[in-house]
Structure 1
Amino acid sequence: MAEGPIFSVRVGAGAGGIAGVTEAAVRAEAMGFDQVWTGNDLFGGPGVASMAAMLAATERIKVGSGVLDPVSIHPVQLAQLASGFQELSGGRFILGLGAGSDVFFRRAGIAAPRPVPRTRTAVVAIRALTDGRSPAGLPGAGEGWHESAHIESPRPVPIYVGAMGPKMLEMAGRHADGVLPLCLPPRQVFDAMEQIGRGAKAAGRTVADLDIAACVWCSLDEDRDRARRVLARFIARYSGSLSADALAAHGLDPEEFARTQALVDDGRLDEATEAVLSSPSMLTLGIVGGAHDVLEQCEELLAAGARHISFGPPLGPDPGHAMGIFGERVLPRLRATP
């Protein structure tokens, strides 16, 4: 674990193709971020190819897969990829794993086991393989492994788990090196820490032994109204995909989100955006505003015990400009925060 706080940025795998994602990674490194993450969703951008390009184009920053799934890519292949990326980068790769999307699996004609078990067995098996061991007979690694199941040129890799539900969070606390909980609103990270802590305790460790990233949505621009509108539009698009229970637990109105989703479904995205802007609470799902606003909200998270803040889309009206503001005016101040 790093002594000071960790700051990372998440870049969409389809943001300008491989060249655009790679350019974002180079810029993130120049702006002082510690980590940069990109995904590999089925039917999405070429995430694995982007990760290789990002690692080859950078020198210091850690590059993470946010996230790969063990269904469309077998755990053996994930272990091979992770070891290869470690060799390519001199140990700067982080393997982010997640259950994957059952919606996408069905679209591809893939029948997948239940999310938590399939992710857990992958974590256990991949850790053994990248450490140069066979998963055969290893508790939690699943059945069917042979004693000869070894990969060539294994290299240990930190394994993080992308998680939202309580069972996945607890599993991550037991088995992972880090956790990537999507925190909507940002203060949800503290609920996630409690759930991760239960799993960590069962494994004889604490949350301090893990890198837990508060993965937040952020829209940064000195024109606060522009920043708010970009985030509002983003929230409108995803308003029906959020857990009603999680919203209610944080004082948000699930009915308000359902009404907004209905507008989106009717093709009335502009009206849905206005509904978010006029709401007294919906914009609290993310961090929004100019440098001062973002600093204030992040300082509150750090003061309350967060040790890693991961900034994700939409980032702002101009994501490249937003990253520059982060590097010049936000991250230096946050790193100086006691």
Structure 2
Amino acid sequence: MAFDVALDGVLMLSDHSTIDDAVAQARRYEDCGFARVSMGEVTGWNVVPVLTAIARETEDIGISNDVFAPPARSPAMLAQTALTLHEASDGRYRLGLGPSSPALVERWHSGEFDPALRRTRETIDVVRAVYEGGKVEYHGEVFDMGGMSYDRQVPDDPPAIDLATLGPTAVEMTGRFADGWVPQLFTADGLRDRLGDLERGAEMGDRAVDDVRVAPIVRTFAHEDGDHARSMARQMVAFLIGAYGPFYGNSVADQGYPDAVEEIRAAWEEKDTAAMAAALPDEALEAFAAAGTPEEVREHYREIAAVEGVDAVRCGFVAGMSQDDKEGTMAALSEL
């Protein structure tokens, strides 16, 4: 099975004690031939300075964020940020947006989560209005603004907009309005099903679905001791399902694992991480993560890459991996 799509990398910023360390990891991705590097923003660093540092200290690798939550920044500020990072990276930046989660929006940013999808849609509208230059006038259900304009020249090729979405309606919206889709915790069959929603959305927007860059994140750990890699990945996947808001768990349940999701969530209520990991079936771990020997990991990547419509596979490391583990995993993927 061939691997003929791009290979992206994810920075786990919680693994890095300094911004210089994060930049060094981005350089390793570039040296290994990865097409893009991205990172999340939750309650740690503001990632804009980190992205800027990476842009200034690399030459060719694309940079992205996975993702900004619109309640954390106004749509106009998101547009300003995107255009500034476009300038800093010589056009290598893609803006990542997503509805986020109730916990992050309400308990960290002190906002209201709903209407999450409408807010995301209107954020895209406003960012694109800024991209068009001139005076911005926008009167939506969530945002009502006008009378001011971006006071710098807008480039002819402003940053693409990627969305991190999961459910059918959200992915349909992605196909209709965004330039890229960054899903996570999907099996190969789950991706195929959801790509139908992406295609339907593109048709509704009179767009070509081939123009939407699809880059699923796959939690990855390649190690000669495959059982060790699977054990660590099991903890990570179970934590994502149980602790990262309702949407990952709902998506995994819809892909055929409702009983496991229910058990993992019950264990999370007790903060019993060992029980969470134990509740994840071997079959689910194999389907949702690339963990095992180097060849087993490469085979998983080939399976995801073979899904029609996938343009890149995004390597997300597993919590607790050492730097040697990461470099070994990157070396294994470089043989694809």
State the TM-score, normalized to the length of structure 2. 0.87
Q: 1:260 to 1:135 in 2, by over 3 A?
A: same
Q: CA deviation at 1:16?
A: 1.2
* TM-fit CA distance, 1:160: 0.7
Post-superposition offset of 1:255? 1.9
2:125 counterpart residue number: 124
- What does 1:1-338 align with in structure 2 at a 5 Å threshold? 5-17=5-17, 18-41=19-42, 43-107=43-107, 108-136=109-137, 144-155=144-155, 156-240=158-242, 241=246, 246-252=251-257, 254-276=258-280, 279-305=282-308, 306-314=310-318, 317-318=321-322, 320-326=324-330, 328-333=331-336
Q: Is the 2:188–2:303 contact (alpha carbons within 8 Å) kept by the matching residues of 1?
A: no
Give the length in aligned residue pairs: 325
| Offset, 1:195 | 0.8
Q: Is the 8 A contact 1:186 1:287 kept in 2?
A: no
Distance in 2 between residues matched to 1:210 and 1:44, nearest whole Å: 30
1:97 and 1:284 map into 2 onto residues whose CA distance is 26
Q: Describe the superposition over 1:57-103 as per-residue Cα deviations: whole angstroms up to 9, x where unpaired.
A: 21110110111122211111111111111111111111101123321
After TM superposition, which residue ranges in structure 1, 4 or more long, deviate above 4 angstroms?
140-143, 241-245
1:153-188: per-residue Cα shift (whole Å, max 9, x none)? Answer: 433111111111222111111111111112333442
Q: Distance in 2 between matches of 1:216 and 1:90?
A: 28
- Return the offset for 1:270: 3.1
Code of the aligned partner of 1:291: P
Offset at residue 262 of structure 1 (A)? 3.1
Q: Give the letter for the 2:105 counterpart.
A: F
- Which structure 1 residue ranges, 5 or more long, are not aligned? 334-338
Deviation string 1:293-321 (CA, Å, 9 cap, x unpaired) is 11112212223323211121317733553
Q: Normalising by structure 1, report the TM-score.
A: 0.86
Deviation, structure 1 residue 243: 5.0
1:281–1:77 CA distance, 2 compared to 1 (3 A): closer
Distance 2:74 2:85 in 1: 16
When residues 8 and 243 of structure 1 are mapped into structure 2, their CA distance, relative to the original with a 3 A threshold, is: closer
Aligned pair in 2 of structure 1 residues 300, 236: CA closer, same or farther (>3 Å)?
Answer: closer
- 2:99 match: secondary structure: coil
> Unaligned regions of 5+ residues in structure 2, if any?
none
Q: Distance in 1 between matches of 2:90 and 2:79?
A: 16
**Which letter maps to 1:50?**
V
* AA partner of residue 81 (structure 1): T
Give CA-to-partner distance per residue, 1:99-144, whole Å, 9 cap, x none: 2332122224323551111111111211221332444258x79653
Q: CA deviation at 1:245?
A: 5.0
| Stretch of structure 1 that moved more, 209-218 or 141-150 | 141-150
SS of alignment partner, residue 121 of structure 2:
helix
Residues 195 and 179 of structure 1, relative CA distance in 2, 3 Å threshold: same
Q: What SS does structure 1 have at the residue aligned with 2:145? A: coil
Alpha-carbon distance between aligned partners in 2 of 1:81 and 1:59, rounded to the nearest angstrom = 20
Contact 2:98 2:165 in 1 (8 A): yes
1:124 and 1:100 map into 2 onto residues whose CA distance is 18
1:220 Cα deviation from its structure 2 partner? 1.8
Distance 1:238 1:89, change over 3 A: closer
Name the CA distance, whole Å, in 2 between partners of 1:255 and 1:294.
Answer: 26
One-letter code aligned to 2:313: I
Contact 1:186 1:214 in 2 (8 A): no
Q: CA RMSD in A?
A: 2.5
Determine the C-alpha separation between the residues in 2 that align with 1:207 and 1:27.
Answer: 32
**Structure 1: which amino acid aligns with 2:59?**
E
Could you tell me whether the CA contact under 8 Å between 2:102 and 2:113 is conserved in 1?
yes
Is 1:186–1:215's contact at 8 Å kept on the other side of the alignment? no
Could you tell which deviates more after superposition, 19-28 or 192-201? 19-28
Partners of 2:6 and 2:134 in 1: CA distance: 31
Letter of the 1:131 partner, please give it: E
